[in-house]
Amino acid sequence: MTRARLDGLYLFLLGSLLFILVGLVVEHLGSDSMGDFKGVYYDARCMLQHRDPYNEAELLRVFEAERGGAPGTQGGSPLALSLNVYLPTTFVFIVPFAMLPWGAAHLLWLILTAGSFILAAFLMWDVGASKAPVLSGALLAFLAVTSSLHLLSTGNAAGIVVSFCAIATWCFLKERFVPAGILCLAVSLAIKPHDAGLIWLYFLLAGGIRRKRALQTLVVAAALGIPAMLWVSQIAPNWIQELHANLATISAHGSMNDPGPTGTGSRTPGMVIDLASVLSVFRDDPRFYYPVAYLVCAIPLLAWSARTLRSRFSEATGWLALAAIVPLTLIVTYHRPQDAKLLLLTIPACAMLWAEGGLTGWLALLTTATGIAATGDIPLSVLVTLTKGLHPSMTSLPGQLLFILFLRPVPLILLIMGIFYLWIYVRRSSNHIPGPAAIAHS
């Protein structure tokens, strides 16, 4: 092993160690320890008791009946615990944890989250280390250290979803441990399809053996998800209407998932980071900011899709394609900073461009490092603290721009990052467009 590769590995290991230590300390001392995991845990406990997991009254009864005898179940946002906004397919993965007492369940969840995230990060480092080991180690160490709050302290499911998605990506691009990759991506799709969906779409559009892997994943996801949906339909025949009502409540004007300036999470480290949260500053109306956000994102998404369909596959272009689609994934629909840990999929492409040197390498480092920093737990907490007393006027254009610059910078950073990698991807892959003969034999 070369000295540079060894140094990169040391950086990665140091970041992983701090990720675990910081996460465990905050989880132990925090007033809302494992708050996100409590929500899905008690949803599944409700299912096991043959009660409607989408009914607020049923969920609260289960929670109140069990919290007194389960150490560590105190706390948690009542709204987050009582309003289930996950699809029924999530239960296929959560129910095994819900069969256990709280203590054992939350410990296993922590172990699985930390273990899968470190494994996923190591696989990304292994790819990037072939080009820039120290840079890859440094970026992954920083990403890990600034991920402890949302992934370990709160126990958000994004930790497992993002990690499984990255593991599956490595398996598919390397054509190694393919069955494990199929299962990992299927679980990610079942729990958070808005996180893993466009990653899955890449493999579908890439053609050849990649398309076969995407279709196999879809079959496994259906095999896991359909029984769960049938089970939920028996217990809660009105779950679709109830889920819709829960989503409407939690996304209502001024609520925790409202992307507008008055949302309860708009000035916290857990802010909404989709593009609608920026557009809402100009006009706080869902009928305005959602259609415009979809339209803005549709242009690069269509360009990315067209290029993927026409390009000849290589592992290098695969990582570039993923580096382009990940930031766009995060801004096109509802996401929070914990979902942005998906940015670890951009590090292999960044390392590849950095190794080439020149302006492109510096731009890759700048956009990637800025994207990771802007969505990190610690930088976001610092930003919230520094801007606590900032209240720009929302009635004038200068005030609106100031609000976006200091209070909503994340979506714009991710948009710039996505456009940069899309530009590189289109430019590089255009040199590998197969001709008619190649298409005939593919």
% pLDDT > 90, the chain? 69
What is the reported pTM?
0.92
The answer to whether residues 357 and 380 touch, using CB atoms and an 8 Å cutoff, is: no
Q: By mean pLDDT, which of 2-16, 42-56, 68-82 is the weakest?
A: 68-82
Number of Cα atoms under 13 Å in the Cβ half of residue 102: 20
Q: By mean pLDDT, which of 77-91, 161-175, 216-230, 236-250 is the weakest?
A: 77-91
Report residue 339's pLDDT band, with 50, 70 and 90 as the boundaries: very high
pLDDT of residue 369 exceeding 60, the answer is: yes
Largest CA distance in the chain: 69
Rounded CA gap, 429 and 432, in Å? 5
pLDDT of residue 124 exceeding 80, the answer is: yes
pLDDT in tens, 57-115: 888 888 888 765 443 444 444 445 668 889 999 998 999 999 999 999 999 999 999 99
Q: How high is the pLDDT of residue 69?
A: 42
pLDDT in tens, 418-442: 999 999 999 987 665 554 333 333 3
DSSP state of 275: T
Helices (H), 333-408: 347-356, 358-374, 377-386, 397-407
Average model confidence (pLDDT) for the chain? 89
Q: How high is the pLDDT of residue 76?
A: 45
pLDDT of residue 318 exceeding 50, the answer is: yes
